Structure 1
Amino acid sequence: MKMAQQDSIIALDVSKARLDGLDAETGEAFQVENAEAGYSLLRRRCGKRAVQVVLEASGGYERPVMEALSKAGIPVRLVDPRKVRHFARAHGRWAKNDRLDARMIAAYAQAIPGAAYQPDPEREVLAELATYRRQLLDEQTMVRNQAQTLADPELRRLAKRRLDAIALLILRLDKRIAEQIAASKTLKVNDNLLQSIPAVGPVLAATLLAHMPELGTLTRHQVAALAGVAPMDNQSGKRDGPRSIYGGRPVVRTVLYMAAVVASRRNPPLAAFYKKLIAAGKKPKVALVAIMRKIVVLANAIIRDQRTYAA
């Protein structure tokens, strides 16, 4: 659902302790707690106006206020902080503080329409689990790299103990993710559909379900761009440079890349596709991106049609 741009906008800059706001209709700046007492004041401020509350993603601190307002029937929109910063700089605003941020969030929301937040508790729990698992993998890689340079025997033992503990936590998270998917009818059905695709295993399926809720509602070009695997033109005048991928959702792209690497070696249809591209003169990374794009486009079509890959 797209938000109506004629609605009043209340923009919020979110931090752990407080919400710095701007009521765009009255021009009034205000500040409330990032707690239930503050949410009550926000609900009162919204009143019976046709209003939309717009706020940036802020590492999870935005979730309680989004849930509180959404339960009260107040439309909420979440915007990408990077896009707001680019928007601010395009308008010559380089200074940064909480009140200025709220003002630029309001200006961004007025200029660029977007979809309202749709609560989906089951998917949000899955997204939190999948995000924590990814963070554990990052930590595992960091500790493993550190361990390779350690000379002290005790430090090497401590690193090994830490790696063993992280590995156990990842196994526990895998179990929790599987349980979360099995407990939801929608997630379970879509997980089975996704895993029917060659090269899509439990990790990629869970990542797509958690971080790409738009699957099944987009065109092939839109889904490729959203995942960050759509080649972007690099042309100006007579120059026609090589196209490259840009933007999208890094967490999805990272897992897609690993799936594409495995598929290019072990999955017969996709391995044949990879070899065909290499034989045509494509560089290995370009061929891998083509596999990534094929996988995510297939995922979108399969969720849209609610049919397995074999069907």
Structure 2
Amino acid sequence: MFPRILEIKKNLQLLKDKLKKIEKHIHNLIQTTQRFKQIEDILVTVPGIGNRSITGLLCYLPELGKVTRKQITALCGLALYVCDSGQMRGKARTKKGRAHIKEILYMPMLTSIRINPIISRFYQHLRSRGKPAKVALIACMRKLLTILNFLVKNKVSWKACVTK
């Protein structure tokens, strides 16, 4: 093999090892901080939400459970803003907000559409009404985020909320 390829493989392995150490450190911080541990215990019960999503939400969204559903969707850039002016009628669009949250919720949303009964039903309903897939996906992200906010605010697990 070429010496350059061996060097790249070695550097890649070093980076993977560093990433594992950082993830372990973050996990330890979550376990030792009471508020983070409480939130993690709630979020882990939601179908489709995994450890990386939880870590990202804890990191980039400290307001989770402390604000209203409208405020949380606006913070994350998932609130709809109507583009109307005078007689011009435009489409409603999402804008601004924290792009990191959209990135964090994208993959869990794809999973939730398949395994989370509430999100799946909502997605299918939107698609049956003729909404494009991306529009339905963003609407589901908004719905999931408001559900997560509700669960954390009321300190309730997913199962306790769904079985009521």
Q: Same fold (TM over 0.5)?
A: yes
Aligned residues: 160
Provide the residue aligned with 1:270 in structure 2: 119
Seq. identity, %: 30
Provide the residue aligned with 1:148 in structure 2: none
Cα shift at 1:215: 1.7
Provide the residue aligned with 2:24 in structure 1: 175
Cα shift at 1:168: 2.7
Aligned residue runs from structure 1 range 178-193, under 5 A: 178-193=27-42
Report which of the two has the higher share of strand.
Answer: 1
Change beyond 3 A, Cα 1:192–1:235: same
Provide the residue aligned with 1:228 in structure 2: 77
| Structure with larger Rg | 1
Deviations 1:13-43 (A, max 9, x none): xxxxxxxxxxxxxxxxxxxxxxxxxxxxxxx
Aligned residue runs from structure 1 range 114-129, under 5 A: none
Deviations 1:37-66 (A, max 9, x none): xxxxxxxxxxxxxxxxxxxxxxxxxxxxxx
Deviations 1:127-175 (A, max 9, x none): xxxxxxxxxxxxxxxxxxxxxxxxx965555444443333333222221
- SS where residue 179 of structure 1 aligns? helix
Change beyond 3 A, Cα 1:286–1:156: farther
Q: Larger RCO: Structure 1 or Structure 2 (Cα < 8 Å, ≥ 6 residues apart)?
A: 2
Instruction: Tell me, in whole angstroms, the C-alpha distance in 2 between the residues paired with 1:167 and 1:275.
Output: 39
* Partners of 1:278 and 1:284 within 8 A in 2: yes
Instruction: Tell me, in whole angstroms, the C-alpha distance in 2 between the residues paired with 1:199 and 1:240.
Output: 37
Cα shift at 1:177: 1.4
- SS where residue 310 of structure 1 aligns? helix
2:132 is aligned, of 279, 283, 287, to: 283
* Partners of 1:234 and 1:243 within 8 A in 2: yes
Provide the residue aligned with 1:194 in structure 2: 43
2:66 is aligned, of 203, 217, 221, to: 217
* Partners of 2:48 and 2:109 within 8 A in 1: yes
Cα shift at 1:233: 0.9
Report the TM-score when normalising by structure 1. 0.47
- SS where residue 109 of structure 2 aligns? helix
CA RMSD of superposed structures (Å): 2.1
Structure 1 runs not aligned, ≥5 long = 1-151
Cα shift at 1:182: 0.7
Provide the residue aligned with 2:151 in structure 1: 302
* Partners of 1:232 and 1:244 within 8 A in 2: yes
Change beyond 3 A, Cα 1:161–1:242: farther
The one-letter code of the counterpart of 2:34 is K
The one-letter code of the counterpart of 1:279 is S
Cα shift at 1:267: 3.3
Instruction: Tell me, in whole angstroms, the C-alpha distance in 2 between the residues paired with 1:244 and 1:160.
Output: 44
Aligned residue runs from structure 1 range 1-311, under 5 A: 155-311=4-160
Instruction: Tell me, in whole angstroms, the C-alpha distance in 2 between the residues paired with 1:281 and 1:292.
Output: 18
Report the TM-score when normalising by structure 2. 0.85
